[in-house]
């Protein structure tokens, strides 16, 4: 299996002087194609910071983030925006969607940014809606969808751009356990059937139970890397 | 297309805020248009008051005459000038005049004043002499008829039909000359200076009395477009220019009016800038509120790959749409108000005299096309300019920090 993401001695600090805290303190980890991995750890352990650094949402103070061999740590402006658009899918905790756009338009949005032709876009949106079990609900705006349905649309949007990896930061945090389990089953299914690579940041037991690999983080360092 | 769609949908997410911001921009536009219309109306009254009462929009006279109203400085052979005036297409009217300082006496009193020898017919189209008549009859062919200001008549304690003796120096030999006239009409222009110092007699009688022959002291002109009078390249001015003859437009005749016009345009500019500054602050505030409200959403949009320029462009487009909507609402309102006040006037609470001009009790705003084209464009431009800072702020949102902050 090829390596999708590799971090090398990644370090990110917040504050200054005596208040300086290393949220991520020299983490080196690699994620392979098709993995279903969860970064776990207590609150403040640095898992979300690590996910932000991997996703190019934050800049490391030291170290490198290699995505398909390309270092994204120094990218800024349009370059990092375009890179995220084309290579990384994001699912956040909540309010993932643009409220004034319908589910269909939310999924289409990222492809519009990519410049995908209209016919291809439409076909892919319908395909994605079908994959996440929301066929026929594309016209609804986020406010007209349940929390679980909204997260499904977020999954569909994340997949729509054909990314190398999907990063999910606490995707079930705002869902009840049943809906959360259904969403995770869907993602696991997409991982198994389509070979999509998922990387979670979580302390949700349901995700941990489904993950193939658990990267335990504490105080900004990898404490344990557990492959099941 | 996506940008436009997003911008318009975002605008109507918070209807109340959009409405209030629109109200602010709309009010600024309406006030600006109304204010400009009123200022134009007031200037029109003031310039008209000066040029149309007696002065005319331009004058032709012997060099130096206007400095001291020296009656010995006159156009001795004005025929060639009158011929040019008769044929000039830019003019609507002209009025030849004789102007001599004189002592005006009645049986009870005497006063110093100015005697205007006028052509009664030509004055009708040139000045307000005919309209100023409040009692008696306008000048006719009667060579002994005289029009007198109301205040002067009161001071001389005379009325219609009473005798008046004009005493002055003859312009050719400085000998004292006297003429007997009868008051045929009482006039009232409004400005005190005119109503207590001026008398009007037929021009032929004046030329004969003051030994002028065919000579004239002044020719007052009215143009089809009153601004022509101030044009430096006016063909008429070049044509009549000969040794010792001066042609001056109303701005040169009344430099204080020019200064007033300049001051008014500065005042308008300052008021406009202040008005739009306040409106811009309102727009900036409103846009910032909308950005903070959508901080998480914008951060997500940026996280999934939206370029900073797209986010900035979205904010600018929202501001542009806001301004366009505001203008769409403001223009009909401004047009209705302007049309109403242009027809009915805005009450000022009574007539008043200002800089020698009588302002009527109602002010009628002037509706001009540029108010409905230029001002909305300024509003749109300024709103978009005001939105640049919020747009830059939105474009620079750091996704990781904003996502954390907004949750």
Reported confidence tier of residue A165, pLDDT bands at 50, 70, 90: very high
For the ranges A54-68, B229-243, B260-274, the maximum mean pLDDT occurs at A54-68
What pLDDT is attached to residue B355?
Answer: 60
Split at pLDDT 50, 70, 90, the class of B358 is: low
Q: Average pLDDT over chain B, rounded to whole?
A: 88
Give the pLDDT score at B354. 63
pLDDT at B351 over 80: no
- Say whether pLDDT at A34 is over 60: yes
pLDDT digits (tens, 9 = 90+) for A180-208: 898 898 889 889 888 899 999 998 898 99
The residue among B44 and B304 whose pLDDT is bigger is B304
pLDDT at A102: 93
Domain containing residue A207: CATH number: 3.40.50.300
pLDDT digits (tens, 9 = 90+) for B385-403: 999 999 999 999 888 888 7
pLDDT for B405 equals: 63
Report the share of chain B in percent with pLDDT over 70: 97
Reply yes or no on whether the pLDDT at B357 is more than 80.
no
Q: Which residues contact B36 (CB under 8 A, 6 or more apart)?
A: B268, B368, B371, B375
Q: Is A164 on the interface with B (CB under 8 A)?
A: no
- Determine contact: A136 vs chain B, CB below 8 A: no
Angle between helical axes of B255-293 and B295-303 (0-180°, round to 10): 70
Chain B residues near residue A115 by CB distance under 8 angstroms: none
Residue B73 has pLDDT above 80, yes or no: yes
Query: Residue B251 — pLDDT band, cuts 50, 70, 90?
Result: confident
Q: Which residues in B lie closer than 8 A to residue A89 (C-beta atoms)?
A: 304
How many residues are listed for chain A in this entry?
Answer: 228
Domain that holds residue A125: 3-227
A91 to chain B, minimum CA–CA distance in Å? 9
Of residues B259 and B144, more confidently modeled: B144
**Inter-chain CB proximity A81 and B305 less than 8 Å:** yes
Q: List chain A residues with CB under 8 Å of B400.
A: 49, 52, 57-58
Token pair 């008696």 is at which residue?
Answer: B136
B101-121, pLDDT tens digit by residue?
A: 999 999 889 999 999 999 999
Look at chain A and report how many structural domains it folds into: 1
Distance CA A95, CA B407 (A): 10
Residue A73 to residues A8, A60, A79, A130, A226: CA-CA distances in angstroms?
Answer: 11, 7, 11, 35, 26
- The two most distant CA atoms of chain B are separated, in Å, by 102
For position A29, what pLDDT does the model report? 93
Q: Using CB atoms, which residue from B300, B308, B398 is nearest to A81?
A: B308
Res. B262 pLDDT band, cuts 50 70 90 = confident
Q: Can you spell out the DSSP letters for A35-49?
A: -EEEEE-STTSSHHH
Name every chain B residue with its beta carbon within 8 A of the beta carbon of A90. 300, 303-304
Euclidean distance between CA atoms B252 and B254, whole angstroms: 5
| Each residue's pLDDT tens digit, B29-50 | 999 899 889 888 888 888 887 7
């Amino acid at each position: 299996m090829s390596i999708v993401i590799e971090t090398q001695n990644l370090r990110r600090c917040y504050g200054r002087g005596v208040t300086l805290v290393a949220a991520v303190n020299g983490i080196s980890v690699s994620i392979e194609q098709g993995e279903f991995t969860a970064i776990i750890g207590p609150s403040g352990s640095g898992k979300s910071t690590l996910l932000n650094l991997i996703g190019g949402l934050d800049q490391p103070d030291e170290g490198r983030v290699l995505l398909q061999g390309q270092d994204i740590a120094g990218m800024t402006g349009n370059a990092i925006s375009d890179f995220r658009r084309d290579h990384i899918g994001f699912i956040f905790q909540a309010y993932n969607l643009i409220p004034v756009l319908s589910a269909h338009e939310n999924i289409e949005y990222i492809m519009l940014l990519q410049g995908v032709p209209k016919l291809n876009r439409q076909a892919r949106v319908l395909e994605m809606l079908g994959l996440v079990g929301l066929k026929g609900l594309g016209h609804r705006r986020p406010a007209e969808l349940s929390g679980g349905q909204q997260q499904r649309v977020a999954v569909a949007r994340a997949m729509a751009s054909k990314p190398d990896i999907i990063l999910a930061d606490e995707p079930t945090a705002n869902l009840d356990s049943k809906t959360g389990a259904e969403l995770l089953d869907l993602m696991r299914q997409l991982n198994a059937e389509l070979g999509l690579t998922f990387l979670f940041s979580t302390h949700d037991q349901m995700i941990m139970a489904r993950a193939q690999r658990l990267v335990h983080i504490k105080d900004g360092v990898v404490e344990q890397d557990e492959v099941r | 297309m996506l940008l436009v769609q997003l911008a318009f949908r975002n605008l109507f997410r918070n209807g109340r805020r959009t409405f209030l911001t629109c109200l602010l921009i709309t009010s600024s536009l309406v006030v600006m248009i109304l204010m400009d219309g009123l200022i134009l109306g007031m200037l029109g009254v003031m310039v008209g008051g000066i040029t149309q009462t007696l002065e005319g929009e331009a004058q032709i006279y012997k060099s130096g005459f206007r400095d001291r109203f020296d009656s010995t400085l006159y156009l001795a052979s004005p025929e060639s000038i009158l011929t040019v005036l008769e044929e000039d297409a830019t003019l609507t009217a002209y009025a030849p005049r004789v102007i001599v300082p004189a002592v005006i006496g009645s049986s009870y009193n005497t006063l110093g004043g100015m005697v205007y020898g006028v052509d009664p017919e030509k004055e009708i189209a040139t000045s307000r002499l005919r309209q100023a008549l409040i009692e008696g009859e306008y000048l006719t062919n009667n060579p002994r008829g005289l029009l007198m200001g109301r205040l002067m008549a009161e001071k001389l304690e005379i009325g219609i039909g009473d005798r008046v003796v004009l005493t002055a120096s003859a312009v050719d030999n400085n000998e004292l000359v006297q003429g007997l006239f009868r008051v045929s009409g009482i006039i009232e222009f409004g400005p005190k200076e005119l109503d207590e110092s001026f008398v009007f007699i037929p021009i032929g009688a004046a030329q004969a009395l003051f030994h002028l022959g065919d000579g004239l002291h002044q020719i007052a002109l009215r143009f089809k477009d009153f601004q022509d009078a101030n044009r430096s390249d006016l063909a008429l001015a070049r044509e009549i220019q000969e040794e010792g003859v001066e042609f001056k437009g109303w701005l040169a005749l009344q430099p204080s009016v020019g200064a007033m016009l300049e001051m008014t345009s500065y005042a308008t500019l300052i008021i406009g800038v202040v008005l739009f500054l306040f409106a811009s602050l309102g727009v900036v505030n409103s846009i910032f509120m909308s950005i903070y409200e959508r901080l998480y959403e914008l951060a997500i949009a940026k996280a999934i790959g939206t370029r900073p320029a797209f986010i900035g462009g979205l904010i600018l487009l929202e501001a542009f749409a806001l301004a366009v909507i505001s203008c769409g609402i403001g223009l009909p309102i401004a047009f209705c108000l302007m049309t109403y006040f242009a027809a009915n006037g805005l009450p000022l609470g009574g007539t008043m005299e200002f800089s020698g001009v009588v302002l009527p009790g109602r002010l009628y705003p002037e509706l001009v096309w540029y108010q409905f084209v230029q001002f909305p464009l300024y509003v749109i431009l300024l709103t978009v300019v005001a939105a640049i800072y919020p747009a830059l702020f939105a474009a620079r949102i750091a996704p990781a920090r904003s996502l954390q902050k907004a949750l």
